[in-house]
């Protein structure tokens, strides 16, 4: 009979065996964790951001016209300040836009604001040129608005600065016979007077909407270029997707609406058939909007209605906390720009003198700290209009 002789393990061998068992246990837990994250959409909790993934800090936001894009710009400015990021600014000759309506070129960027993490000023999009400036992992985002609503706002706001609109008696007159005033090759001064969303995205604003091949290729190009196309009418729902895409916290996506028109400068109703005429005139924009509106809701459906509803609840709860933290029981004063005496908080009034709403600090609160209660820098930035905020960031860049 064979005999077996057992040899006792040394203390060192026993220690290494324990280490081995610990490593095996850690590996199994890690594999289980990865499986759980995949099962729940890369998040330990379906209602929280995946904090194992770092925040995305390289972002291009194509700021389109009259779409709520100033609200997004303010949000991005604040994110850049909090995280010590560099925002690319237009060179002096371009003003506050990247020499729009010319197609974007790297020459339009102020060299003192490079290398950049964030781009968020108006431009006519040129993906190849933007990529030359930005890191390879940059996330591209833009926002669209229902074309008839957007065009009414566009016409009203740019009535005296867009040459085509300027020679038109009224919106109704323009929509009755647009070809009487509009010339395709006429230089765009201020803004494109047809298919402005398509134009801002780098497309051909005068291409017939019946050119199905062009429309299909253009939509595919925008799809490839942008990871998220937000929808102005569903701004909060868009922020749910944005927050997850960028792995940001709720505090990173808080906002107050910027650059809104006063009630007196808005049309309470449109003449019968006017909206359909505006949609027909901007038919490329309509196809663009309809495509990405549907895309937004597909992405939200993939998250699930319960998760989206909870995210919206948490977002609005965070908004309320911010307002309470900033101003306590006092309320922000939403006023006409003409009534705001503090130039640092007064929105820009264009040549058409369209009245814009801005925010005044609550009574007994000032921005210079002279009152008994100082307002935090964050709170002031939240209500600072686009041009003044741009100037502040330029001064510190």
Q: What is the pLDDT of residues 368-396, one digit of tens each?
A: 544 434 457 888 899 999 999 999 998 87
CATH code, 166? 3.40.50
Given a contact cutoff of 8 angstroms between Cβ atoms, the answer to whether 345 and 358 are in contact is: yes
What pLDDT, in 10s, does the model give residues 191-222?
899 999 999 999 999 999 999 999 999 999 99
**CA separation for the pair 233, 67 (Å, rounded):** 9
What pLDDT does 239 receive? 98
**CA separation for the pair 293, 10 (Å, rounded):** 69
The answer to the question of residue 341 being in a domain is: no
- What's the mean pLDDT in 287-314? 97
What pLDDT, in 10s, does the model give residues 44-61?
333 344 556 899 999 999
The residue with greater pLDDT, 370 or 243, is: 243
Q: How sure is the predictor about 17, in pLDDT bands with cuts at 50, 70 and 90?
A: low
Give the pTM. Answer: 0.83
**Model confidence at 1: pLDDT above 50:** no
Q: Give CA separation, 213 vs 160, 208, 209, 282, in Å.
A: 36, 11, 10, 18
**Model confidence at 296: pLDDT above 50:** yes
The answer to the question of residue 194 being in a domain is: yes
Q: How sure is the predictor about 34, in pLDDT bands with cuts at 50, 70 and 90?
A: very low
The answer to the question of residue 118 being in a domain is: yes
**Model confidence at 190: pLDDT above 70:** yes
The answer to the question of residue 303 being in a domain is: yes
What pLDDT does 28 receive? 53
**CA separation for the pair 154, 235 (Å, rounded):** 19
Q: What is the count of structural domains for the chain? A: 1
The answer to the question of residue 67 being in a domain is: yes
The answer to the question of residue 93 being in a domain is: yes
- What's the mean pLDDT in 120-141? 97
**Model confidence at 21: pLDDT above 70:** no
* Residue 309 parent element (H or E): helix 305-327
User: Which structural domain range is residue 174 located in?
Assistant: 59-329+389-396
Q: How sure is the predictor about 15, in pLDDT bands with cuts at 50, 70 and 90?
A: low
- Range from 55-64, 235-244, 267-276 carrying the lowest mean pLDDT: 267-276
The residue with greater pLDDT, 27 or 388, is: 388
The answer to the question of residue 7 being in a domain is: no
Given a contact cutoff of 8 angstroms between Cβ atoms, the answer to whether 288 and 222 are in contact is: yes
The answer to the question of residue 336 being in a domain is: no
Q: How sure is the predictor about 42, in pLDDT bands with cuts at 50, 70 and 90?
A: very low
- What's the mean pLDDT in 167-176? 94
């Amino acid at each position: 009979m064979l005999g077996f002789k057992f040899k006792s393990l040394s203390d060192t061998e026993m220690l290494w065996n324990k280490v081995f068992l610990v490593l095996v246990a850690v590996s199994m837990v890690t594999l289980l964790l990865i499986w759980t994250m995949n099962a729940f959409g890369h998040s330990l909790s379906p209602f929280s951001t995946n904090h194992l993934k770092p925040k995305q800090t390289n972002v291009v936001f194509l700021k389109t016209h009259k779409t709520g894009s100033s609200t997004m710009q303010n949000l991005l400015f604040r994110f850049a300040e909090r995280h010590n990021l560099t925002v690319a600014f237009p060179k002096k000759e371009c003003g506050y836009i990247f020499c729009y309506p010319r197609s974007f070129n790297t020459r339009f960027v102020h060299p003192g604001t490079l290398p950049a993490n964030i781009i968020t000023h108006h431009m006519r999009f040129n993906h190849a040129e933007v990529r030359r400036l930005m890191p390879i992992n940059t996330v591209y985002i833009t926002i669209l608005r229902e074309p008839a609503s957007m065009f009414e706002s566009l016409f009203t706001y740019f009535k005296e600065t867009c040459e085509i609109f300027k020679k038109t008696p009224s919106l109704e007159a323009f929509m009755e016979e647009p070809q009487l005033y509009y010339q395709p090759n006429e230089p765009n001064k201020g803004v494109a007077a047809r298919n402005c969303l398509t134009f801002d995205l780098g497309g051909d604003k005068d291409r017939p909407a019946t050119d199905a091949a062009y429309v299909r290729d253009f939509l595919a190009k925008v799809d490839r270029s942008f990871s998220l196309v937000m929808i102005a009418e569903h701004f909060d729902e868009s922020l749910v997707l944005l927050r997850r895409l960028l792995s940001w916290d709720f505090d990173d996506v808080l906002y107050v609406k910027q650059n809104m028109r006063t009630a007196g400068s808005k049309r309470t109703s449109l003449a019968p058939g006017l909206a359909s005429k505006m949609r027909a005139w901007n038919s490329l924009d309509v196809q663009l909007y309809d495509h990405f509106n549907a895309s937004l809701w597909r992405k939200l459906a993939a998250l699930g209605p319960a998760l989206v509803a909870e995210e919206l609840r948490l977002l609005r709860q965070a908004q309320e906390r911010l307002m309470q933290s900033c101003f306590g029981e006092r309320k922000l004063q939403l006023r006409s720009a003409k009534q705001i005496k503090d130039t640092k908080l007064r929105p820009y009034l264009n040549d058409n003198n369209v009245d814009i709403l801005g925010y005044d600090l609550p009574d007994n609160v000032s921005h210079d700290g002279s009152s008994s209660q100082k307002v935090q820098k964050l709170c002031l930035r939240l209500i600072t209009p686009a041009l003044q905020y741009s100037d502040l960031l330029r001064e510190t860049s």
